[in-house]
Amino acid sequence: MPARILVLGGSFAGLTAALSLTSRLGADADVTVVSAADRFVFNPSLIWLPFGRRGRTDISFPLAPTFERHGVRFVHAAATYVDPAEHRVETTEGVFDYDYLVIATGYRNDLDVVPGMHETATITTLGAAERTANAWREFLDDPGDVIVGATQGASCFGAAYEFLFNTSYQLRRAGLHDKVKLTYVTAEPYAGHFGIDGMPGAKPLMRMFARKEGIAVETGQAMREIRPESIELADGRELPYKFAMVIPPFRGQDFLAKTPGLVDAGGYVPVRSTYQSQHWDDVYAVGIAAAVPVPWTTAIPTGIPKTGFPTEQQAHVAAKNIAAQVRGTEPTTRKEFSQIPALCIMDAGNNGVAMFADHMLPPRKAAVMIPGPQNHLAKVAFEKYSLAKMRAGRVRLP
């Protein structure tokens, strides 16, 4: 009888895990994906959507056809409760039993972190980015000062920087660059920290970019309140704006907290280096759903970014280990999040920075940052390649 493998989530982590399992196990596995979203969204491209450089159909595709081509059952439903003792998951479309469970449910925005965040533009989901596009169009009709920021506890700093520099580029194109003040407000202890304790040369490089673009930078800042036309910082200062885009912190999905011992205070699943749950050998968590300890303390809390590349790496590790268990052997493939290589291209409109390191987190033996306009083209090429790979279900390609 084939092993029943249930994957919760259909984004980078869930899609990769499900298709990697099918590829490795074939007829030995019956893989089902349950996802609250019925489309795959290439989140790195959300930075472009508010400026009209991308639309919904440019950066997303329906999940069902991809899974069906590879013999994976797809169910468009939201999970509501995980019962590890009974090996079952309750969803809005019924109850699913499993032999192995992969939790790849991603994140939700913590919009309660700062009063006013619920009403503030952001780009961390497709719907939010589309609403931000409306706000940007309104801004162009009545321009003024601009703030791009990341609140205390935020982790998606890469998107904040990309949106910041793309905003500067778009202001130039609109003839507004010298007429408005652009400010970056961040919880990071310094510009270029990125939530990963920086990279060699990151601090002077970000300082150079900010100076070149005339961007005012406020680091080590917590936000007290976001009002319709100003942001109040914890030190009491108010920064006025006509347009603001702010990145909030992420949290795990609410339903996971209903299971005692499954998640930590942030709603993430504590895992071993095999990506098995700390408490259940047949429960795995990958991608943003997996807890990653922050190995340092900053004056203002910052999180660690969990981007697409490490997410896919985690999913492959989990798939290898589940395949081993299905075949009756111990799961021995291990890869600590901190030891996964860092590969990132930060777009800046018509410029950018490529970042490479042997490890996501320090200590690192090798790391390099390469600025230049070629990185914008590289980012576009990476987008096209990744979307084609995911749509085709060729998740074992690089």
Alpha carbons within 13 angstroms on the beta-carbon side of residue 304 total: 24
In sign, the C-alpha dihedral spanning 341, 281, 267, 308 is positive
3-state SS of the chain?
CCEEEEEECCCHHHHHHHHHHHHHHHHHEEEEEEECCCEEECHHHHHCHHHCCCCHHHCEEEHHHHHHHCCCEEEECCEEEEECCCCEEEECCEEEECCEEEECCCCEECCCCCCCHHHCECCCCHHHHHHHHHHHHHHHHCCCCEEEEECCCCCCHHHHHHHHHHHHHHHHHCCCCCCCCEEEEECCCCCCCCCCCCCCCHHHHHHHHHHHHCEEEECCCCEEEEECCEEEECCCCEEECCEEEEECCEECCHHHHHCCCCCCCCCCECECCCCEECCCCCEEECHHHECCCCCCCCCCCCCCCCCHHHHHHHHHHHHHHHHHHHCCCCCCCCCCHHHCCEEEEEECCCCEEEEEECCCCCCCCCEEEEECCHHHHHHHHHHHHHHHHHHHCCCCCC
d(C-alpha 78, C-alpha 61), whole Å: 19
Catalytic residue among 31, 156, 182, 262: 156
> Measured between alpha carbons, how far is residue 93 from residues 36, 64, 65, 78, 338 in Å?
11, 16, 19, 8, 37
Annotated catalytic residue 344: yes
- Cα 251-161-105 angle, rounded to 5 deg: 25
Of 147, 182, 344, 361, catalytic: 344
Known catalytic residues are 156, 344
